[in-house]
Amino acid sequence: MLGKVLFSRIFTRFTKLFIAITVLHLIFLVHFFRSYGISKGSSISLPVSYNNELDKEAQETLVSKTKERFSKVEENPDRFWLTRTELVHTNVEVPINRYINPSAEDAWDKTNELFYDPRFILSIYLNELKHSLDTSKERPTLPFSWADWIDLTKLNDELSKPMEERMDCDVLRLNTKKKPDTSYFCLNNAELTDDMIQELGFTRREQLPGFVIFQHSTHSHKPFNDFRVLEAKSYALTFLPKPLKVMILTGNNDNGFYEFLVDPNSNGRLATTNMVSKYLQNNNIVDNGAEDYSVTFDHIREYRELIKSHPPSTVSVHHEPVNSFDTIEENKSKNQSTNIVLDRSMFRYSKDQVVDQIHEYESKSATGLSPEEYQYFMGLKMFNDCSAQGDEIRHFKTATIRTDDDKNVDNDNGWHYDWRFFNGALNYDRRGWSKAEMSERTRIILERMIRTWYMFSRKTGIISWIMHGTLLSWYWNGLIFPYDIDIDIQMPVSELIRLAKHYNQTLVVENPEEGYGKYLIDVGTFVHDRDITDLNYIDARFVDVDSGIYIDFTGLSTSKANPPTEYSNTEYTNISKPLNDDTVDIYNDRRKHFYVFDEISPLRYSMLSGSPVLIPNGILTRLKFEYAVGLESMEFNDWFFVPVLRLWLHKNQLIKHLYPNMKESFYKNIDNSKIMKAITSLSKDEIASLLDDDAILTEYYLTRNLTTLHAWERYYLFGIVDNHVPEIKNHENPKDSYNQLTAKFKPIYPIRKNLFEFEHFDRLHHHIADTF
């Protein structure tokens, strides 16, 4: 899948001097790897360096120009606003009468329109938590409505119309491919009984749109993008099941969090509960009775007060061995190894254990099950019933959309969004948005998501590692590819079951001091079966509820599945086992990937885009096996890896600087091999020109420290020298140095803005013009 690369060409450009240095390195590295055993078993011959040597002038330009331009960035926060990622707009003024005065004409519980502001919601809930914890040590149970926690205000257009002018199921039908009968997923507003409306938490039917979605419309019934968005919002407003609990992460690299259970019996939107009045009471705010009376909410203040009065909880109460991340922190403080050695038993699980587990919960249920236990128990029974009848049901459903739509610029068919939270395709031609803004949005979503997943696992000790395309992008520069749209993570089956037991249906909330991200943990019912399947090969997801983008989790375990012949006797893998044998230590996911223990363990502590992650032991051979030229190809779909900057830049972005006089209409005539040649032998003017580009400079500024650390890591792990990190050349005692390097890994402050401020403030204020 990766484009062909002209590796030999690059090689011919290496200077003699460089070859001499390389040989010296090789001698040293062979010795080093023998003694440390890092690349044991690897038969990959890698280039010792991907980097060209710059001529002396170019090298000097790189150093001086970088310094000069980085100070520019720091002196011009407004121009380089994307480099300022801290929260800014943390206060929100909310006209409070609409919440607390039921006789107000525009009271939120009576109006049709919806209100959303994450700062307001967090303020109310953090304050409520504080007061609950004042009176009781128990984990509180609070009302919850998706309408408060995700932005459904795109429905306001519809909700403000008179009923007879609103869109109904038939409009959806006409905009859906194959024009299906919609009755299996859509109800016209008039079809809802008054009781149903009450049950859904509303007082009048006008508060619901003309079409009420209660089910997924199947993958073959694809609506246009905007209609799929409205379907998701209508569902979230009405029938979307609530999470089991909400977990608000605290701190940056510790194991603290706050948690509350969601009251399953309340459909209370804030507008219908007394939480806002309680907030005012708690804060001694007296309503002055004025109609436009507003209160300023500051969730950061609430958060800090909560932290001060009630230290966050930790999971130490839950059973389980040691939190490996605690051990990593301890080891880091002593410059000791941060490798996590896994136990083979973590990869063993059999559906025969299901019946025993059911019995266990049955006998326990007399004395009472926790909400988590009860949910897991129901999952086991559901699994058991389905398996008995031989019918497996697809758990995860996606937001398929039409591709016969000019605005669907990438012909995205929607398979990588959770339909329930779909908020538009990543590269959809949105009115008022530039392409550059859309891609910044994607970067924010992916990087914040992996970061929050790390924070969650840091606190719970759940062990997982990046794999597939995510590992490949890590390999290059320790960042996520700028064109990526998803994240892949694996875990041992034991961890998957642990995730299901304790955290299924948990809404994980990003540390409020850093952003407003919210992610739903959803573990599929069929995780108990470890054989290959067509329907449920994704075991769990961490779904960004603001966009529908998710991390895919696959569990690895022994099973009766048989590795396809492509795994045996190849240069990179040699995996085979006796037919249907589930006793040998060969681990598979439920799709098609098979591994041996040493390819996974020990896991290494590393970094991806500023967040710690774990990576598997066998990287090169597996990546080579999975992506034939992925480790070598410095070009993919018109994106080029520019070694000097350690960044992937787009062809059109590069051409501007490499061929400054060329007209844009000629860009397409430039052969990729020409660009490849140019980026591996940049002149001093070209380097200066690249660094004069604000967009490139911003990215370089944000990532240079990270990619430098990664360059060191590549050196220790694979022996690849980066000749733009000169210090790498004087190097001794690599094993200790590797430990000293990983001791430096820790979550840095997010390198991207948070999505809420980006969308609601910065983008509107600054705009990012398309420059390529």
Ligand X SMILES: *[C@@H]1O[C@H](CO)[C@@H](O)[C@H](O)[C@H]1NC(C)=O
Q: How far is the CB of 340 from ligand X (least distance, A)?
A: 5
- Distance between CA atoms of 770 and 434, rounded to whole angstroms? 6
Query: What residues numbered 444-503 form the site for ligand X, per CB under 6 A?
Result: 500
Contact at 8 Å (CB) between 527 and 471?
Answer: no
Between 260 and 553, name the residue whose CB sits nearer to ligand X.
553
β-strand 257-262 against 245-249: which pairing, if any?
antiparallel
Burial 671-694 (b: 16+ CB within 10 A, else e): ebeebbbbbbebebebbbbbbebb
Helix, strand, or coil (residue 488):
strand
339 binds ligand X (CB under 6 A): yes
Nearer to ligand X, 527 or 717 (CB): 527
- Min separation Cβ 461 and ligand X, Å: 10
Close Cβ partners of 678 (under 8 Å, ≥ 6 residues apart): 654, 658, 686
Give helix 371-388 / helix 493-503 axis angle, nearest 10°.
120
Residues 279-338 that bind ligand X (CB under 6 A): 324, 327-328, 331, 334-338
- Token pair 């004409």 is at which residue? 105
* Residue number, 159 or 244, with CB nearest to ligand X: 244
Q: Binding segment for ligand X among 131-139, 174-182, 385-393, 701-709 (CB under 6 A)? A: 701-709
> One symbol per residue from 723 to 752: x for binding ligand X (CB under 6 A), - otherwise; what is it?
-----------------x--x---------
Residues 562-591 that bind ligand X (CB under 6 A): 569, 574
Whole-number Å distance between alpha carbons of 543 and 550: 4
DSSP assignment letter at 182: G
Task: Provide the token pair at 355.
Answer: 């019946």
Residue 705 in contact with ligand X, rule: CB under 6 A: yes
**Nearer CB in complex with ligand X: 82/169:** 82
Residue 497 CB, nearest approach to ligand X (Å): 8
Which of the ranges 304-312, 372-380, 483-491, 549-557 carries the binding residues for ligand X, by CB under 6 A? 372-380
Looking at the Cβ atoms of 108 and 376, the one nearer to ligand X is: 376
Minimal distance, residue 330 CB to ligand X, in Å:
7
Binds ligand X (CB under 6 A): choice among 66, 238, 255, 505:
505
Shortest separation between residue 336's beta carbon and ligand X, angstroms: 4
Residue 341 within binding range of ligand X, rule CB under 6 A: yes
Sole window of 262-270, 292-300, 454-462, 699-707 interacting with ligand X (rule: CB under 6 A): 699-707
For ligand X, the closer CB: 108 or 700:
700
3-class state of residue 338 by DSSP: coil
Tell me how many residues contact ligand X (CB under 6 A).
29
Tokens of 746: 């820790």
Residue type, 313: S
- Least distance in angstroms from the C-beta of 270 to ligand X: 24
Among all residues, whose Cβ is closest to ligand X?
379
H or E element at residue 188: strand 186-188
Q: Specify whether the CB–CB gap between 642 and 679 falls below 8 A.
A: yes
In the complex, the smallest distance separating the C-beta of residue 378 from ligand X, rounded to whole angstroms, is 7
First to last CA, the chain: 24
Give the residue carrying structure tokens 């969730």.
299
Residue in 642, 606, 376 with CA at minimum distance from that of residue 475: 606
For ligand X, give the closer residue by CB, 64 or 740.
740
Q: How many CB atoms lie within 10 A of CB 288?
A: 7
Retrieve residue 650's tokens.
Answer: 């787009």
By the rule CB under 6 A, 612 interacts with ligand X: no
Taking the complex as a whole, the smallest distance from the CB of residue 704 to ligand X amounts, in Å, to 7
Q: Does 370 contact ligand X by CB under 6 A?
A: no
Please calculate the CA angle 549-714-589 and round it to the nearest 5 degrees.
45
Q: Under DSSP, is residue 472 helix (H, G, I), strand (E, B) or coil?
A: helix
Written as one string, the DSSP assignment of 599-665 is HHPSBEEEEETTEEEEE-S--HHHHHHHSTTTTT-SEETTEEEETTTTEEEEHHHHHHHHSTT--GG
Question: Mask: binding to ligand X, 77-116, rule CB under 6 A, as x and -?
Answer: ----------------------------------------
Residue appearing with tokens 């060969």: 586
Nearer to ligand X by Cβ, of 312 and 371: the residue is: 371
- Residue 525 binds ligand X, judged by CB under 6 A: yes
State yes or no: residue 701 binds ligand X (CB under 6 A). Answer: yes
Nearer to ligand X, 527 or 631 (CB): 527
CB nearer to ligand X: give 53 or 713. Answer: 713
Whose Cβ is closer to ligand X: residue 426's or residue 500's? 500
Binding positions for ligand X, 382-401, rule CB under 6 A: 382
Q: How far is the CB of 516 from ligand X (least distance, A)?
A: 22
Q: Does 42 bind ligand X (CB under 6 A)?
A: no
Least CB distance from residue 241 to ligand X, whole Å? 7
Nearer to ligand X, 98 or 420 (CB): 420
| Amino acid found at 530 | R
SS3 of 404, please? coil
Q: Among residues 224, 258, 347, 376, which is the contact residue for ligand X, using CB under 6 A?
A: 376
CA 433 to each of CA 232, 233, 548: distance values in angstroms, whole numbers, following the listed order: 21, 21, 19
Q: Compute the radius of gyration of the chain from its Cα atoms.
A: 27
Question: What is the contact surface with ligand X in residues (CB under 6 A)?
Answer: 324, 327-328, 331, 334-341, 375-376, 379, 382, 500, 504-505, 523, 525, 527, 569, 574, 701-702, 705, 740, 743
